[in-house]
Amino acid sequence: MKKQNLLFPLLFVLLVMMGCSSDDDITPNDPDDGDGQIDPPTAEYEPLNLENYYNGTGVMMQAFYWDVEPRHQWWEKLTEKVDDWADAGINRIWLPPASKGQSGGYSMGYDPSDYFDLGEYEQHGTVETRFGSRTELDALISAAHSNGIEVIADIVLNHNSGGGLEFNPYRGYETYTLFNEEFGNASGRFNRNYENFYPNSTSNWYDNSLFYPETNLDHNQEYVQNWLWAADYSVANYYKNEVGFDGWRFDYVLGFEPWVVKAWLDEVGGFSVAEYWDGNANNLINYIEETGSGVFDFATFYKLDEAFDRNDDLHSLTGDMVWQTYPDKAVTFTANHDTEKDENEDNFISYENKLKAYAFILTHPGYPTIFYSDYENADFKEELQQLIHINNTIATGDVEVLYVDEDEYIMKRARTASSPGLILYINTNGNTKIKEGIDTDWNQAMIMDYSGNIDYNPITDENGMVSLRAPANGYAIYSIMKQK
């Protein structure tokens, strides 16, 4: 991942004010002229060079939205963007399922038919997938790796689709469960029939509430395990060793047992995040502990939704979230391909609140994800780039919520030996907010808003206390300045 060097208007404002004299970016000195009082000498200040605090965390880009266009050109389009994303501080990109689905050139990949057809075989009316050809996928992965970006494969381990019709004796009627070179599996690798789906001769279990229950794979079968992850010729090993994927996003894990993900990771390793769609933090934590995989932090997503939209009350931001227990396994997000489609109102953070939600996840612990359509939105892009920059540099240290009410939320990331720390101030009120008596880690230090949203540069007192401001219906992210 490349490091950034972003500038915004405040960075060109050199302020001459009374402050503490120091060349130390983290802890300005508090000089004493001998009268027993800490006197702020005259000094010229400028913003910190955040590059000096690069922390190696990074951010993941969800590199698609539902029904991406133009069809058959998506891999090429992404290849053109990876340089910019790397410069912005993105260190992973999550691709949609790359294999051929039943819907052929219209498929978003969540109707998997041939796991080994990545745009190479004529079937379901097309050679290329919706996203392009295998050659174009290879070029994208190569470009990403050249920029220090890992590529994450979306893996769908159930609800197969697009097979041929056959009589299924375990259901007593015909099902689309025949996958071979003639029906939906032109690669000839991982051929399957009704015996490989629930129920079958070795298992009477089935759950008709699942997506496509008739083609829900039986992962307990050795044959299925070998083809998906256990054997050298498996999907997992092929995607990792031959295609070049670096990690996994597991789709709809509520449709199969946690041990499947654990077994996959034990075999091939790599970064992993599971789509366990549940807003209960404890359930998500239990899944982490059962599988060793990261999870999308739906608990945080729903707290953000409650705070900014459903309840319009920022007290929700102090609720239970996965990052509080497993910051290294919590993949935080504000939007994805599912929440942003079909005018979703139940699982959706509104346009006017998006950037405040991003400010939250990009200053708090966890591994943040940026949604493609948000980043490529001209109204959001510059602000998101600065938030990513802050995440990748000074967003470290212990979290302490300093103040919260219905329309104000103030959080501190503590100063450490290698970072100055920060204070996030979110305001959902229609007017500028001022909060007095905020206890910082900075004594007699000039501070500024590194988001660039408010032009305000107070000096903390000898005890680190200060009055902060937040713009109307917005946020500020404060940290210290340094002597010029």
Pair type for strands 433-439 and 465-470 = antiparallel
CB 349 within 8 A of CB 357: yes
Nearest to 26 by CA among 394, 449, 395, 438: 394
Q: 244 to each of 90, 237, 248, 262, 270, how far by Cα in Å?
A: 18, 10, 12, 21, 11
**158 marked among binding-site residues:** yes
Residue that is written with structure tokens 């054997």 in the block: 231
List own/partner pairs for 134-138 with CB under 8 A and 24 or more apart. Answer: 136/75, 136/76, 136/79, 137/75, 137/98, 137/243, 138/243, 138/244
Just list the catalytic residues: 251, 275
The residues, ordered by sequence, that sit 6+ positions from 204 with a Cβ below 8 Å of its Cβ are none
Whether 396 contacts 451, CB under 8 Å: no
* Ligand-binding site membership of 154 (annotated): no
Please tell me the distance from the alpha carbon of residue 245 to that of residue 423, in angstroms, as a whole number: 37
Q: Where are the alpha helices (DSSP H) in 292-343?
A: 298-305
The single residue listed with the structure tokens 């996959």 is 264
Prior bond of 70 cis (ω within 30°)? yes
Q: How far apart are CA 10 and CA 355, in angstroms?
A: 19
Q: Contact 371/349 with Cβ under 8 angstroms?
A: no
d(CA 432, CA 444): 24
Strands 465-470 and 59-62 come out as unpaired
The sign of the CA dihedral 336, 280, 276, 61 is positive
Residue count (the chain): 484
CA angle 84, 90, 93 (to 5 degrees): 100
> Nearest to residue 409, comparing CAs of 455, 474, 324?
474
| Strands in 124-246 per DSSP E | 150-155, 164-168, 173-178
Residues contributing to the annotated binding site: 158, 232
Residues contributing to the annotated binding site for Ca(2+): 158, 232
